[in-house]
Every structure is written in structure tokens, then in C-alpha cells.
Amino acid sequence: MGKFYYNEEQDSYDAIVVGTGISGGWAAKELCEKGLKTLVLERGRMVRHREDYPTANMDTWDFPNNGELPPEEAAKQLKQARTGYTVKAAHNFWFVNDLEHPYNETKRFDWMRGYHVGGRSLLWGRHSYRLSDLDFEANKKDGVAVDWPVRYKDIAPWYSKVETYIGVSGESLGLPQLPDSEFEPMMELNCIEQHVREKVADNFGGRVITAGRVAHINSAKQFDGDGRTRCQFRNRCIRGCPFGAYFSSNSSTLPAAEATGNLTLRPDSIVHEVMYDPDTKKATGVKVIDRVTKETFEFKAKVIFLCASAMASASILMQSKSDRFPNGMGNDSDQLGRNIMDHHLGAGASGKYDGYKDKFYKGRKPNGIYVPRFRNIGGDTNMKEFIRGYGYQGSGSRGNWEDAVSELSHGKDLKEAILKPGGWTFGMSGFGEVLPYEDNRMTLDYDKLDGWGLPTVTFDAEFKENEWKMREDMKEQAFEMLTKSGLRDVEAYDRPGALGLGIHEMGTARMGRDPKTSVLNGYNQLHDVKNVYVTDGAFMTSAACVNPSLTYMAFTARAADHAAEQLKKGLL
């Protein structure tokens, strides 16, 4: 994506897409390829594939202070430092300055944001899993929140479309709770991972350990995009991948959109309102503040896709007030900003293994293992203590010479010790489903404005009893699986953090069948403003227990197809 098109004089388009991350990139690609002149607005700076990944080829010794930030720089990201990994010199520049982009917490909420072209598609963990009918039917079955207006069969072909385009490595398992994808070859497990896989299969009927299903090219197959090629096993993904080996908007969907000649990309464009015409009952466009100059603009379009991330898209709709929508566009149900979900993590176990002294591995594999959900899927897997379920992510590795420091060796003994690898360790941590609670919500504070005069977000959301009960089982089962796999010094842990830590914000403008209890219909359209679509995490009606980005992409592709058809028929 080497070019930058923007015509100051043009203010009307067929479509406007707000955001350039996972969802925005797909909306741009699909709409442009269907012939729509599309304006894509990004609130952050321009980032060009390859040339704007400044640390992609730096080694550990290239960073001062071993990659730790100076105190004055770390002070700008104190909230994000709660994650433990965003504030490193190798990649902290992707994440916002907390002081420049403040938010408020009635209860702790960890909001990780990357404001730039590509958004968090440059930063995501790349795990890519399908939801199943177990997930789409869960709310109805459990009497929780509202029913999804779609089922797996409606989304399955769109999952396939997305997977064959982005490249997802993994293996077929035939599990009803985790449908198989269109796979690239699986990334191999190392010896300790394979060992635990076999022991869990022997000791726990029906439980499976597989490689994480990740959006990495792992073959010689050619994929569309800006020269995408197979993974080099550098594991520097969060810095930006110059090989385009993992899927991102910058390496894949935005270049595809640009190739059509229908793309207009404008970074530094903070969208804060969708404009509404009460006569046509349609949106007419968006209001924008230039991030740098603070000038204001209005852009018009026939259809608008909000893909700014769950909280940002909800904020835009909340600010889009009119006589028809005094509480925010599409908010007749009062569900806008409610039902915040994420995944709860940080409960699991780790241990050591004494074998395989003659084995090591080569390269830095960018993923580890995955344990699909095995709770509440029927029969004796059903639990009385909690509903829904969880999976595990984890990995095994062999230590290095640092182990020798604790031995207090010296001379010849030390020299021999540092030439030998350390021991094998293995760990697994749960990712659990968070239920959609109506009182887990965000609101706007008009008394605390940001640097652009816009209201700041206040979070009031927390884990509740179902999540806490689930965490106990997550910890216990991890401990039991590692113990029965022959590991020693197994330690269970529970470090809950807070909502937001999973970086999977969802639910603020949920889908549903009834306009009285939901914001969007089954095609991601606002119930009451049919030419506005929301296809980021805001639309999620329940969270499942798997990473959600693949689902965002599939629903976005489906919604773009629907919008193009509706436009062709003159219905938008």
C-alpha cells in the first residue's frame, strides 16, 4: 500500500468506512471490489506496509536499556502497562498515549488502542477460530440476553471466503464445538507440546490439544496482497511483518481495495457523528475532525460502515443525536453501550519436565498450543457451577543459559553450564466466555472532554459469578492435565486482571431479532437506519470462548455483500 489518495474537493462517495483495522480493511476491500467509490476514514496516522515498521528487523541488543522504556515515556502508558506487554520499546509506539486519549473507570477496564492505518490488525494475536451453533444458540438455550438472529449455516460460507483469503494454519479435528476451517498446513508442535498432547488424549477422554489456529501463511501458496509470503518464524509479529506472513489490513485488504481504483483513504480523520435525514430515514454521511489541524469536515455517502472498534463505534452512534434519536442513533432499545463482553484469562498452570534432554527446536514459532472447549458441550461435560465454557492457549519451551545463574557456578563449571540448554517447561492459560450483562456498560462524559472537544468514555463493567466459578475450573483442570502428563513442580495460578485485558471488546451494539432489545439486525444494519452497518466487535450478541477477529471478518464480508445488493436494488 504505497500510495495515498485523497481529494480535498470531493465530499460525496458511494460508501464510507470508518476504521482500517480487521473489520474496516475487509469492508474497504469488499465494497471497492463491488464497484463502490469508497472513502475510508482512519482517526490515526498513516502507516505504509513495510516502510513504516521501524523495529521489524532490530535485534534485542539494538534497543537501549534492554528494550525497557525510560520512566518519562512509560508514564504516558500507565493504564496500558497493566497488560504487561504493550509498553516495550520494540512496539509501544503502536499503542496510544493514555494522557492524550484519556478514559474513565467506575470499575477497572483495560482499554488497549492503536490509532493508525491498520489499527490492531498489525497487533493482534492472530488466533482464528470459528464460532459454532453451540455459540449461536447459547443465549436462547440458556435464557441469557437475546438470541442471535443468525446460525452457523448462515456464516459458514463467509468463514470459508475469509480463511482462503487470509491463510489460517491449523489441523482439522471434526469437533462440533470448534468447526474446522480452510487450513494452511499446521505449525508443528515441539516435543514437550506433543508429549502433553498425547498424555492428555490418554488420560482425558474427548480432550484435544492442537496447534493454535493462526492467520499465518505456512506454505508456498500465493495469497493476494502486497507480496505476502510464508511465515519466517521470527516471532516479531507485533512489530509489523515485512513479509506479510500474517494477515493485516496493511499487507492484504487495503492493497486489494487500492488496486480497484475505488479507494480513497484519509488518515488523521476523527469521525464523531453520523448525520441523519428524518425525511428519508437514512444516514447522509459523517462529521469529521482533522486530528492534526482540528478542522471540521462533512462527508456524504449512500451507505456507512462503522468499523472503528466496539467502543469507538458505540461512541460515534451515541454522539449521533437528533430529534428522532435523542439518545443516540439506533438506540431506541437503550442497548447502545451495554452488554460489554471480553474474554477472561490468566487462570491456568505451568510446570517443568525432566525428559527430552537430547531435543531442542529451531526458529521462533509465532504460536503455541490450543485446547478446544470441553465443558458444557453435552453429557457428562455439563457443569452445575457455571454455563458456557473455555479453551486454553499455551506453549512449551526449553530454557537457556540464564538457568545457570541460580546455580552460583564459576570457572569451568559455569563455562560448561552456559553451553547447555536449560530444562523444558510447559504452561497453559484459559480463555473463558464472559456473559452479556446489561449493566456492564460504557457511557459518555460530556464534562470531561478530550483534546478534540469530544466526550470521554466511562466504563462500568466487571466479571460476575459465572466467570468467577468458571475460573476455578480453568485453574483446576490445567493443574490436573499437567500433573497427569508427568510434569513436576506444577503450579496453578489465577491472575484475573479486569475486563479489557483480553483485548476482545464486544457487544456494545448487539445484533438481535427484536428492535426493542437490540441495535442491529442479522445483516449488521441498524434496525432503524438501514444504510448504517456496524461490523466490528460491537455487533456481537454473545462472546463464545474463542478469539473473535475471524468472526468479525466473516460478518463484515457478508454485510458488505448485502449492502452492495441493497444499493443495486435501490433499497438504500
Q: pLDDT-derived band of residue 8, with 50, 70 and 90 as boundaries?
A: low
Q: How many domains does the chain have?
A: 2
| pLDDT at residue 416, as a whole number | 62
At residue 274, φ and ψ (nearest 5 deg) are: -100, 125
Whether 390 and 471 share a structural domain: yes
Average pLDDT over residues 448-476: 98
Is the backbone of residue 174 left (phi > 0), alpha (psi -120 to 50) or beta? left
- The answer to whether residue 234 sits within a structural domain is no
Across the chain, mean pLDDT equals 94
Q: Do residues 456 and 472 share a domain? A: no
Alpha carbon 295 to its chain centroid, in Å, reads: 31
Residues 270 and 321 in one domain: yes
Q: What is the pTM of this model?
A: 0.95
Residue 25 resides in a domain: yes
Are 371 and 312 members of one domain? no
Q: Mark whether 63 and 205 lie in a shared domain.
A: no
99 and 187 in a single domain? The answer is: no
65-79, 132-146, 236-250, 314-328: which has the minimum mean pLDDT?
A: 65-79
pLDDT of amino acid 3: 45
Residue by residue, DSSP assigns 372-391 as ---SSSSGGG--SS-SS-EE
What digits encode the pLDDT tens for the residues 352-376? 999 998 888 888 999 999 999 999 9
Tell me the sheet residues that pair with 16.
39, 304
For position 536, which CATH number holds?
3.50.50.60
Q: How many helices (H) and strands (E) does the chain have?
A: 11, 19
Considering the domain boundaries, does residue 303 fall inside one?
yes
Mean pLDDT of 320-346: 97
Number of neighbouring beta carbons within 10 Å of residue 65 = 8
Question: Is residue 184 one of the residues assigned to a domain?
Answer: yes
Q: Are residues 30 and 121 in the same domain?
A: yes
Residues above pLDDT 70, as percent of the chain: 95
Residues 149 and 513: beta-carbon distance below 8 Å: yes
Residues 71 and 102 in one domain: yes
Residue 144: inside a domain, yes or no? no
Residue 21 grid coordinates: 483495522
- Which residue, 494, 515, 537, sits at the end of a domain? 494
User: Based on the domain organization, do 220 and 349 belong to the same domain?
Assistant: yes
Give strand ranges (E) for 480-567: 488-494, 525-526, 529-534
**CA neighbor of 507 nearest in space, from 438, 571, 456:** 438
Give residue 524's pLDDT band: very low, low, confident or very high (50, 70, 90).
Answer: very high
Residue type, 208: V
Q: What is the mean pLDDT of residues 541-546?
A: 98
Note whether residue 481 is domain-resident: yes
Expressed in percent and rounded to 5, the helix, strand and coil fractions of the chain are: 30, 20, 50
Q: Is 50 exposed, middle or buried (0-12, 13-18, 19+ CB in 10 A)?
A: middle
The answer to whether residue 153 sits within a structural domain is no
Domain region containing 356: 168-227+343-433+463-494
Residues 428 and 516 in one domain: no
- Say yes or no to pLDDT of 6 above 60: no
- DSSP symbols for 274-315: EEEETTTTEEEEEEEEETTT--EEEEEEEEEEE-S-HHHHHH
Examine the domain organization and report whether 89 and 119 are in the same domain. yes
Name residue 297's beta-bridge partners. 288
Chain position carrying cell 462529521:
287
Sheet of strand 343-353: strand arrangement: 210-211, 369-371, 390-398, 424-433, 343-353, 488-494
pLDDT tens, residue by residue, 25-38: 999 999 999 999 99
Whether residue 526 lies inside any domain: the answer is: yes
Are residues 309 and 366 located together in one domain of the fold? no
Closest to 240 in 3D by CA, of 123, 365, 96, 127: 123
